[in-house]
Structure 1
């Protein structure tokens, strides 16, 4: 199939992009890497009247470290983020998760912010953002806004972004003495995962971000609390029955998905040692 007819504009500044979003409302869509939007257009699952190309905006690029916070611009590609020395040193969970995203051609075009704003529940980055307690930076006509990851992913392919806001970047707090782990199970390399886990252990807290388990990426609060308090790993595995929704789809039954989630939790937390 081919996409329905649409107009195309590539603004020179972020402000111009926001103005276009405000003017055209729900008839406009942002495009950057296009790795999710273009297939949806071709299948006519989406039919905007206007595409606003923000893929070349310098304001959305850049990876910086300041005040114990790693900032990743929304327009950086997966490959750029995955291979950046500061990401590999200060947020290795992100680098590891991006290596599991699809294939090199997709990682060369898809953008960091695009994956988060798309809010696909089977994508790796939303779960990483939850596990790392990241903060999303958005910009709209009213100015900048900061949205904690825990409040960003609201429903299936839905976020807390207003229709006239652009995700501009992500702030990740950096702490010493951090352990992390990542694992996913997919039928083939590059396929969407049947279930996946991004885990972070910092002094006094453990966060378990799950993907491909429901309508959104989620945090497993009960299991994390057990582990944070020094409880047994098997008790945390049992608690996943309460943390994770009973999610059936063509890839796996709810029972199978829960079993696989427990397998991943044992692998990731078991690798930390001492449990």
Structure 2
């Protein structure tokens, strides 16, 4: 299909982009376009104007900021995957980004775009949630930060306000002793995850001291598996881990669609969480 008509602006600075969005609730930001363009073609989105931020240097790059890694919203998935800083300090992000769609999408799609799109079936929202990331957004009125736990509001909805642009995401460094893994089940390599699990695990003296777990496609937003995190504290690897992971679907509301029913997704959440925890803890 052919998109509905819209105006197009390519600002030369972030401030100019914020001004272009100011006062127009129907304006949309376009970056890599991997999520927005299909919506435009299907006429599921009707923006009055597209503000192209694809060439703004303020939104680019991956930066080591001491206690956290700052990933610019315009960094592509491929940049994130190849980043030495990401692989050294927040490797779960690089690992999960490498599972996104296919090479063509990873070279064009942006880290910030996939998060701002707020699709619960996307791989990266659950990862950033598990790692307690912080979103930095800017508008004509200034800049603010939104913790990942408060960023995702509903299906394809975030708590960003009209006129705000995602500048980048702060990912805290967890330090030594942590293992990471992202486990997902999907029909084909390019398909959305039916269920995915992002896991970070810290072990000491053979036992799990702390775990961070984010779930993909288990509700209208990414879900933090708090019940499993609590049950894993102080647990040694073995049957106790499997038992703890039986709570992976607690407080979730998995969707029903052509690919899976809720009860199947609940089963997958329990199985995949167990696999992800064992892999993150270093057990084959």
TM range (shorter): over 0.9
Residue in structure 2 matched with residue 209 of structure 1 by the alignment: 214
Deviation at 1:202, TM superposition (A): 4.0
The normalised TM-score by structure 2 is 0.92
**Residue 258 of structure 1 pairs with residue 277 of structure 2:** no
Instruction: Report SS of the residue matched to 1:234.
Output: helix
For residue 241 of structure 2, the aligned residue among 214, 233, 242 is 233
Residue in structure 1 matched with residue 178 of structure 2 by the alignment: 178
1:143-187 Cα distance to aligned partner (Å, 9 max, x none): 111111011111111111111111101111112221111110001
Gap regions ≥5 residues in structure 1:
none
Gap regions ≥5 residues in structure 2:
204-208
Deviation at 1:130, TM superposition (A): 0.7
1:29-72 Cα distance to aligned partner (Å, 9 max, x none): 10000001001000000011110000110000121112221111
For residue 223 of structure 1, the aligned residue among 215, 225, 228 is 228
Residue in structure 2 matched with residue 142 of structure 1 by the alignment: 141
More helix per residue: 1
Q: Which one is further off, 241-250 or 173-182?
A: 241-250
**Residue 194 of structure 1 pairs with residue 194 of structure 2:** yes
- Inter-partner Cα distance in structure 2 for 1:200 and 1:133: 11
Are the aligned partners of 1:221 and 1:243 in contact in 2 as well (CA < 8 Å)? no
Are the aligned partners of 2:179 and 2:282 in contact in 1 as well (CA < 8 Å)? no
- Inter-partner Cα distance in structure 2 for 1:68 and 1:246: 34
Instruction: Report SS of the residue matched to 2:274.
Output: helix
Instruction: Report SS of the residue matched to 1:26.
Output: coil
Aligned CA RMSD, in angstroms, stands at 1.6
In 2 relative to 1, CA 28–239 (structure 1 residues): closer, same or farther, beyond 3 Å? same
- Inter-partner Cα distance in structure 2 for 1:229 and 1:244: 25
- Inter-partner Cα distance in structure 2 for 1:202 and 1:27: 44
Deviation at 1:212, TM superposition (A): 1.2
- Inter-partner Cα distance in structure 2 for 1:57 and 1:171: 19
Deviation at 1:238, TM superposition (A): 2.1
Are the aligned partners of 1:223 and 1:243 in contact in 2 as well (CA < 8 Å)? no
The normalised TM-score by structure 1 is 0.95
Deviation at 1:240, TM superposition (A): 2.2
1:2-36 Cα distance to aligned partner (Å, 9 max, x none): 1011110100000011111113x122110000001
Deviation at 1:122, TM superposition (A): 0.4
- Inter-partner Cα distance in structure 1 for 2:52 and 2:249: 42
- Inter-partner Cα distance in structure 2 for 1:93 and 1:164: 31
Q: Which one is further off, 138-147 or 38-47?
A: 138-147
- Inter-partner Cα distance in structure 2 for 1:137 and 1:194: 29
Are the aligned partners of 1:182 and 1:198 in contact in 2 as well (CA < 8 Å)? yes
Are the aligned partners of 1:116 and 1:126 in contact in 2 as well (CA < 8 Å)? yes
The aligned runs of 1:46-125 (5 Å cut-off) are 46-125=45-124
- Inter-partner Cα distance in structure 2 for 1:163 and 1:46: 15
